Structure 1
Amino acid sequence: MSQAARAPDIRSQPPLLQKLASMNLLTSGSPASYNLAELLGAQINLSDSISLARALTSLEKIKTSDSLSMERPQRQFLNARGGMIRFVLRSFEANETAIPFMLPQANQTTLDDPAEAIKPYQRFYSLHQSEMDHRVTTLRKSLRASLALDGPPRSKLANLDRILDDTLGEYGRKVLARLPKMLVARFALHREEFLNSATADQPIAPANWQHSGGWLHGFHQDIKQLLLAELDLRLLPARALLEALETQD
């Protein structure tokens, strides 16, 4: 069977992979073009497999009970997710000064020297990744603590999530760390389209490139959409904890 025949339907993949595919950033044979679960699963060694097997064997059927209220964990998740989305969106607002890092501002070098111009954007994206990693990790720990309060069955689920995080967390970070490098191709595409356009020779202030219709505006939208899609991916384990809590016999 050919590699193309084995490739999963991209529509069944997380939004991040769908977004990368729509931007033509998934090249044939690249790790990111394969099924994400298979890619992460391939990183579990024998010792990890034994730990996971033991955790799964001891994990009892999770069901809701009258003593458990979903209000607190749901509020934790929604508040954390909403805060992370707002943080991303605010970093793209020109007049925002209350967050620690902002979208790079354009100047003539942005157009004339693409190799240097892309670096601030890559740093901006990486800073967002660090912020998301910290906040998602904090959320998962908080949800585990909430699970543990309701007795052994949910304590086992919390322990399973911790094992999965310990097993796959670092590899997942390495995979996602490739995303800032992928911005180079999108920046080059928007820049080339602008240079080949009828407006390329017209006197336009660099700040106007960032406005709607400007060539940098499209690139900024790419960055924003990738960040939000990555956030969705990073939140999948937390979503799974909530869904498990809602499972009933």
Structure 2
Amino acid sequence: MTQVATNANASNPRMIRFLAELEVVGDPISHTRFAARLAQLIDLSDSLKLSVTHSRMSDLVFEPVPASAGAIKEEFLRVHAVIVEGILSSFSSGGRRQWAELPGPDSLLLPSLEDALKPFLDFYTLHQKQMSSKVKGLRSGVRDAATGLSVELAQLAQLDLVLAEALAAPSRLFLANVETLLRARFEPLLTETRAALAAEQADDNGLMLLYERLCGDLRSLLLAEVEVHLLPVLGLVEAIDDEIN
């Protein structure tokens, strides 16, 4: 089977690189600190659950279930394409009503900074929820398929289930922080633009430039976040590929 195509770079995820370019996060975490930071994200009860799951691996009852590694890969690529297309189409609807409506530039002129940015942040959050739901279903399906292919993959699927549960809350917290980072990025820019408009030192082109910049950053961040959501599933898909071949 051909290796699953992806832009993922586990050592330096695209989302972290992009946030660093926006100058809203510090340096990415180093490899030497990764294990320590991961341990901090898992509380005592989850650590015990992981330990018990690992110790009982030898007792796992394996029941072979035919599954096509090619079909698993195709489903991964299909869901990836659906998510990406949903993001791109919401930024270029061509007049068609989308399930996620991109606010217009006039939103940036609402009375307060909070009111002006909220529609854009709500738009981003809606995409996050849609993305999370689709990937959760995909990950569950890939895990189920792996369970019936070999003892080793069944064990990996069991560990993935427990680890996913342990990291669900920290993952939601991390992704929720993107809204705060976006706000920190654009509030000063919006304040500057609105002040220039009020002083008649800028025209509507200045507002449109800010709008296009905001939309471009939202789109780039959402596309980078697809990678974050899909990395665990990609690991399962590649493990299946290695095992089958």
- The answer to whether structure 1 residue 53 and structure 2 residue 48 are counterparts is no
Instruction: Note the residue ranges of structure 2 that are not aligned, 5 or more in a row.
Output: 1-9, 59-65
| Deviation at residue 80 of structure 1 after TM alignment | 0.5
Alignment coverage as a number of residue pairs: 225
| Deviation at residue 116 of structure 1 after TM alignment | 1.2
Structural mapping, 1:13-24, within 5 Å:
13-24=12-23
The 1:88/1:40 distance shift into structure 2, 3 A limit, reads farther
SS at match of 1:26: coil
| Conserved? CA contact 1:111–1:191, under 8 Å | no
Instruction: Note the residue ranges of structure 1 that are not aligned, 5 or more in a row.
Output: 1-10, 60-66
The 1:40/1:97 distance shift into structure 2, 3 A limit, reads farther
For 2:225, the equivalent position in structure 1 comes to 230
Measured against aligned partners, the alpha-carbon deviations of 1:69-89 in whole angstroms (never above 9, x if no partner) come to 421110011000111011111
Structural mapping, 1:73-152, within 5 Å:
73-95=72-94, 97=96, 99-107=98-106, 110=109, 113-152=112-151
Bigger shift: 153-162 or 35-44?
A: 35-44
Counterpart code for 1:158: A
Measured against aligned partners, the alpha-carbon deviations of 1:189-226 in whole angstroms (never above 9, x if no partner) come to 4435646889x6455379x81xxxx2210111111111
Counterpart code for 1:166: E
| Deviation at residue 93 of structure 1 after TM alignment | 1.1
How far apart, in 2, do the equivalents of 1:192 and 1:85 lie? 32
SS at match of 1:177: helix
- The answer to whether structure 1 residue 245 and structure 2 residue 240 are counterparts is yes
Counterpart code for 2:44: L
The 1:127/1:36 distance shift into structure 2, 3 A limit, reads farther
| Conserved? CA contact 1:40–1:168, under 8 Å | no
| Deviation at residue 103 of structure 1 after TM alignment | 1.1
| Conserved? CA contact 1:122–1:180, under 8 Å | yes
- The answer to whether structure 1 residue 217 and structure 2 residue 212 are counterparts is yes
| Deviation at residue 171 of structure 1 after TM alignment | 1.8
How far apart, in 2, do the equivalents of 1:37 and 1:124 lie? 34
Bigger shift: 49-58 or 95-104?
A: 49-58
CA root-mean-square deviation: 3.2
| Conserved? CA contact 1:40–1:172, under 8 Å | no
| Conserved? CA contact 1:26–1:33, under 8 Å | no
Bigger shift: 236-245 or 181-190?
A: 181-190
| Conserved? CA contact 2:108–2:117, under 8 Å | no
| Conserved? CA contact 1:55–1:160, under 8 Å | yes
For 1:159, the equivalent position in structure 2 comes to 158
| Conserved? CA contact 1:104–1:121, under 8 Å | yes
For 1:7, the equivalent position in structure 2 comes to none
| Conserved? CA contact 1:20–1:26, under 8 Å | yes
How far apart, in 2, do the equivalents of 1:232 and 1:243 lie? 15
For 2:71, the equivalent position in structure 1 comes to 72
* TM-score (normalised: structure 2): 0.78
For 1:191, the equivalent position in structure 2 comes to 190
Structural mapping, 1:22-37, within 5 Å:
22-27=21-26
How far apart, in 1, do the equivalents of 2:11 and 2:71 lie? 31
How far apart, in 1, do the equivalents of 2:182 and 2:224 lie? 14
The 1:85/1:46 distance shift into structure 2, 3 A limit, reads same
SS at match of 2:149: coil
For 2:168, the equivalent position in structure 1 comes to 169
* TM-score (normalised: structure 1): 0.77
